[in-house]
Every structure is written in structure tokens, then in C-alpha cells.
């Protein structure tokens, strides 16, 4: 009996030792895991603290490496400009990695060299402009049409003589126009002043090209009408779409005659911001309208 008791005691001691070893190893493993998690959290915190881009509302985590590369190549740009330009894909060649435009048939529709319209896209509510405001056969989305007519009438009361020379263009119209420019000037030059088919804002039905009545549109910058438009167009919902000194953003040459309808409230905000539509869209509109 005494032997049995000794054996049982020994077994209990052995089991106890094994259990203590197991608990010790488990605790050590848990501590190691906790240390790894703590280190990872610390590293992530440090990375976020060092990531100055992430403070911006329009920051996109998937673009972080591109932000860093663009910053290295453009050290004089602000953080806001770096994030904006990369989000606009301006770190890439134009007409590459393009996407279908969204927000169709709205004033927020963004079309540029990275966002395109299908060849069969025709905006809703197109209406013919009266010949007293435009060349014959020119159409605009109704809201834009009503406001450009109001603009022209008020401008006339101020002694200005503004006329629309181009507005909605179909895909096929733009295709023929662009191809003719390419024949005359080559692709590289044509791309600075004309959109490839599907990438033209004119297909949105929200754009007007204007000039002083019966004057060459290339001379519009030198007219009183141009200065009047700069001052007043936003009050009617229009913005100068391709302004001077913003060619690196819009990817188009300055066009004094090209105005985009976005609605009165938004046009006034864009004018006050001194941003292009592209920049304003990325910073303030994209997340709200996707």
C-alpha cells in the first residue's frame, strides 16, 4: 500500500511539473505574440505619423507609394498638390489606365484624358439654342442652355456681345475633328488642344465655346467680353475650364473661350478656390458623388 501511495505521489508530481511547463510555455508564447502585435501597432503608428499625406480627406491609401515617388520627383509641390495630382493620375501618361466617366447626366460629370464617355453616350435633355444666341444647329443640356441664354442677355445689357460657336458634340463629330487636327499637326500637338473621341467635354452637353459675336474665337482673350466672362460667368453656373497657367493640371492649352457648366453654387465655389474643375473634383466632390 505504501508503495502505491509513493507511486501515485510521484505521478501527481510529474503531472504537476508537466502542467507548469505547459503553462509557462503558453504564457511565453502569448507574450511573444503580444510583443509582435505591439511592435506592429507601434510601427503602424509611426508610419501613420510619418505619412503626412494621410491627413488629407482625399488621401487614398492605395496611392501611397505613388505619392512618395511623385513627391521625390516634384519636391517643390505642396502635400495637397501631390495628392491631388496623383489622384488625377497626372503621374501617368495621358490616355493610359483610363476609366469610364461616372455621374453621367449630372453637373458633376468629370471628363478628361483619364475619364471617358462611351461612343453611344448622348446626354439627356438636349435642347437647341436659338440662333440669336448661337450658330445654327447647336445643342446644350437644358439647364446649361437656359443659363447661357440668361448670361448672354445680361451681358448684352452691359454692352457685351457674346455668342456661342460650339456646344454639344457627338462622339463621331469629335472623332472627325480630332483626326483632322492630327493630319494637320500630328498627334502630339493635337493632344494639347483637342480631345480624342470619347474624352471631350463637349460630349457632355455642358460646354460652350464662346466668342465676341462674329469675331475669331482665338482673339477672345483680348476682348472686353472675355474680361466680363471672367468676372461674371460663375454667377450663371459657368467656369473657365482650361485656364492659363494650369496646363499641367488640365493637360490642355489655355482656352479663353471654353466654359463648362457646373451650376451656380458650385461655379462660385470653384471660382473662389482658384482651382480647376479637376482639382476641385478630387478634393471636394469625388467622395460625395461616387
Query: If we measure between CA atoms, which residue out of 244, 75, 229 comes closest to residue 161?
Result: 229
Residue 214 has what pLDDT? 85
Q: Which residue has the cell 499637326?
A: 185
Q: Give yes or no: residues 180 and 274 share one domain.
A: yes
Residue 274 and residue 179 share a domain: yes
* 124 assigned to active site: no
Q: Is 217 exposed, middle or buried (0-12, 13-18, 19+ CB in 10 A)?
A: middle
253's grid cell: 492649352
Specify the CATH number for the domain of residue 198: 3.30.1380.10
Q: Which residue do the cell numbers 501618361 mark?
A: 93
Bridge partner list, 140? 127
Q: What is the dihedral of CA 211, 213, 214, 219, to 10 degrees?
A: -30
Which grid coordinates are listed for 200?
471631350
Co-location of 67 and 135 in the same domain: no
Residues 105 and 229 in one domain: yes
On whether both 99 and 213 belong to a single domain, the answer is: yes
What does pLDDT average to in each consecutive run of 10 residues of the chain (290 residues)? 60 66 61 55 51 95 97 97 98 97 96 98 97 95 98 98 97 98 97 98 98 92 97 98 97 97 98 98 82
**Are both 228 and 282 inside the same structural domain?**
yes
Q: Tell me which residue of 246, 208, 243, 203 sits closest to 115, measured CA to CA.
A: 203
**82 and 170 inside one domain:** no
Q: Are residues 124 and 62 in the same domain?
A: no
Residue ranges with strand state E in 121-189:
126-128, 139-141, 162-166
Considering the domain architecture, whether residues 170 and 224 belong to the same structural domain is answered as yes
Q: Are 68 and 51 in contact (CB under 8 A)?
A: no
Q: Residue 236 and residue 232: Cα distance in Å, rounded?
A: 7
Q: For residue 42, what pLDDT is reported?
A: 47
The label of the residue with cell 508610419 reads 47
pTM of the model: 0.82
Domain co-membership, 119 together with 224 = yes
Partners of 259 in the beta sheet? 208, 240
**How confident is the model at residue 16, as a pLDDT?**
62
- The tally of domains found in the chain comes to 3
Rounded CA-CA distance 56/281 in Å is 14
Whether residue 151 sits in one domain with residue 204: yes
Instruction: Identify whether the C-beta of residue 172 lies closer than 8 Å to the C-beta of residue 144.
Output: no
The active-site residue, picked from 201, 225, 255, 286, is 255
Q: What is the domain range of residue 44?
A: 2-50
Does residue 113 share a domain with residue 216? yes
Place of cell 458623388: 289
Amino acid at each position: 500500500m505504501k508503495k502505491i501511495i509513493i507511486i501515485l505521489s510521484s505521478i501527481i508530481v510529474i503531472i504537476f511539473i508537466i502542467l507548469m511547463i505547459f503553462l509557462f510555455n503558453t504564457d511565453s508564447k502569448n507574450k511573444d505574440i503580444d510583443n509582435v502585435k505591439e511592435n506592429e501597432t507601434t510601427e503602424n503608428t509611426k508610419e501613420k505619423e510619418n505619412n503626412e499625406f494621410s491627413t488629407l480627406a482625399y488621401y487614398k491609401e492605395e496611392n501611397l507609394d505613388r505619392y512618395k515617388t511623385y513627391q521625390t520627383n516634384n519636391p517643390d509641390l505642396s502635400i495637397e498638390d501631390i495628392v491631388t495630382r496623383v489622384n488625377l493620375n497626372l503621374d501617368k501618361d495621358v490616355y493610359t489606365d483610363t476609366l469610364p466617366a461616372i455621374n453621367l447626366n449630372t453637373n458633376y460629370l468629370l471628363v478628361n484624358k483619364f475619364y471617358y464617355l462611351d461612343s453611344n453616350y448622348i446626354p439627356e435633355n438636349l435642347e437647341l439654342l436659338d440662333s440669336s444666341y448661337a450658330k445654327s444647329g447647336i445643342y446644350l443640356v437644358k439647364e446649361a442652355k437656359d443659363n447661357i441664354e440668361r448670361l448672354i442677355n445680361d451681358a448684352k445689357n452691359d454692352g457685351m456681345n457674346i455668342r456661342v460657336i460650339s456646344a454639344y458634340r457627338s462622339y463621331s463629330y469629335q472623332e472627325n475633328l480630332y483626326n483632322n487636327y492630327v493630319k494637320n499637326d500630328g498627334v502630339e500637338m493635337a493632344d494639347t488642344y483637342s480631345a480624342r473621341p470619347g474624352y471631350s467635354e463637349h460630349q457632355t452637353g455642358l460646354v460652350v465655346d464662346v466668342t465676341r459675336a462674329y469675331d475669331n474665337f482665338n482673339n477672345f482673350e483680348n476682348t472686353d467680353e472675355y474680361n466680363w466672362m471672367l468676372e461674371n460667368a460663375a454667377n450663371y453656373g459657368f467656369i473657365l475650364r482650361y485656364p492659363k497657367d494650369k496646363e499641367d493640371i488640365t493637360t490642355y492649352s489655355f482656352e479663353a473661350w471654353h466654359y463648362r457648366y457646373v451650376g451656380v453654387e458650385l461655379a462660385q465655389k470653384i471660382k473662389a478656390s482658384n482651382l480647376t474643375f479637376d482639382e476641385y473634383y478630387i478634393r471636394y466632390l469625388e467622395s460625395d458623388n461616387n
